[in-house]
Amino acid sequence: MGIFDKIKEKLSHEFIDIIEWLDYTDDTIVHRFERYQNEIKNGAQLIVREGQTAVFINEGQLADVFTPGTYTLNTQNLPILATLKGWKYGFNSPFKAEVYFVNTHLFTDEKWGTKNPITLNDDRFGLVEVRAFGTYAFKISDAGKFVVDIVGTDANFTNFEINEHLKSLISTRFTDTIGEANLPIELYAANTTELSETCLEVMQPEFNFVGISLEKFFIENVSMPEELKKEIFEYSRIDKLDLDKLTKFKTAKAIEAAAANEGGTAGAGMGMGMGFVLAQQMGGMMSPMAGQQAQVQQQQNAPVTPPPMPVQVQYFYALEGQQAGPVSFDQLKVLFANRTINKDVLVWKQGMANWTPLKDVEELKSFLGGNTPPPLPGN
């Protein structure tokens, strides 16, 4: 070998290109390998590390894709590029092509959320608004498709750029999914795991369409207005309670509160009356055995004092579609005063043929404030 051949061989080794990319960031998805006029020498070495894929683009067309490994570039391992270039018998150095390195590792803890409230139609509460947020994880599953369809000619494509697109996609599909679920509004927050799995299944084809694999999807919270939360809690309590017992309980509390607000001797008498009514109302909630034991005890300790005065007229009234009472005239007046009942509530006493609004019962009209006597005769 002559001296010029040795120099030529030495120079050829010195000028062999090495095409590689070392990622020093944690947010870069695609990096374009920059060369002067995109020229690559014949026999250049391509180094693709784990978690990377190299994509060759020729004049806007997808050419060859390389998985992790070390390659010496020639017509044997560039079959698509060779066809696009029209190389039948090899190629002369240099050749032009764009090389994109795609990060294929898992991008985790990406945030998503609904920018605007989602309107749902609940059977009990009507139209309600909810918000949701959570996290997701993705990776590039088809590097060539992703570069062609999403990246284009971007030299340094980050996950921030794709996240805006993915968040819009997630928000749209999430809205459709929870709308079709048609769950009672309070169950959305209680079934985030099941909803997350359903959303993952629904969104996966949309991600695959652009070369992305949605690996994980989590709904961390579904929130609603505070007023709606209070209504749901109240509805839940009432739904679990016996309505008749609840009515009796509220009546007893109202009478007890009225007695506590009275003063002096009159207050003491009213308190005794209220205590009697309270015992009467709560007696219906005691067990039959307790009632029998009380009756036996009363018989054994018969009072030596005169019997009580004749019982006043007792009134029954309708509250929330349920019959309540009986209560005395004074007790009914207290219920009207603290707005437990109003002038339109239906009442009934012994001797009345039908239930009648309170305002139409003669002796109860005094509740309405009409205490002005009629004019004297002759005036």
Assigned CATH class of 243-283+313-368: alpha beta
Residue 131: closest CA among 171, 164, 180: 171
CB 319 within 8 A of CB 355: no
pLDDT per position in the chain (379 positions), as tens?
555 455 444 444 445 588 999 988 888 999 999 877 778 888 889 999 999 999 999 888 899 999 999 999 888 888 888 888 877 667 766 788 889 999 999 998 899 888 888 888 777 777 878 888 999 999 999 999 999 988 888 888 888 888 888 888 888 888 888 777 777 776 777 778 888 888 899 899 989 998 999 999 998 888 777 777 676 666 656 655 555 666 776 777 778 777 776 554 444 444 444 444 444 544 454 445 455 555 656 665 655 666 666 657 888 888 877 888 788 888 878 888 877 888 888 888 888 888 889 888 888 887 777 555 556 666 5
- Calpha distance 271→259 (Å, rounded): 5
CB 362 within 8 A of CB 353: no
Q: Say what the pLDDT of residue 318 is.
A: 86
In this structure, whether the domain defined by 107-230 belongs to CATH 1.10.10.10 is answered with no
Secondary structure of the chain as H, E, C letters? CCHHHHHHHHHHHHCCCEECCCCCCCCEEEEEECCHHHEECCCCEEEECCCEEEEEEECCEEEEEECCEEEECCCCCCHHHHHHHCCCCCCCCCEECEEEEEECCCEEEEEEECCCCEEEEECCCEEEEEEEEEEEEEEECCHHHHHHHHHCCCCEEEHHHHHHHHHHHHHHHHHHHHHHHCCCHHHCHHHHHHHHHHHHHHHHHHHHCCCEEEEEEEEEEEECCHHHHHHHHHHHHHHHCCHHHHHHHHHHHHHHHHHHHCCHHHHHHHHHHHHHHHHHHHHCCCCHHHHHHHHHHHHHCCCCCCCCCCCCCCEEEEECCEEEEEECHHHHHHHHHCCCCCCCCEEEECCCCCCEEHHHCHHHHHHHCCCCCCCCCCC
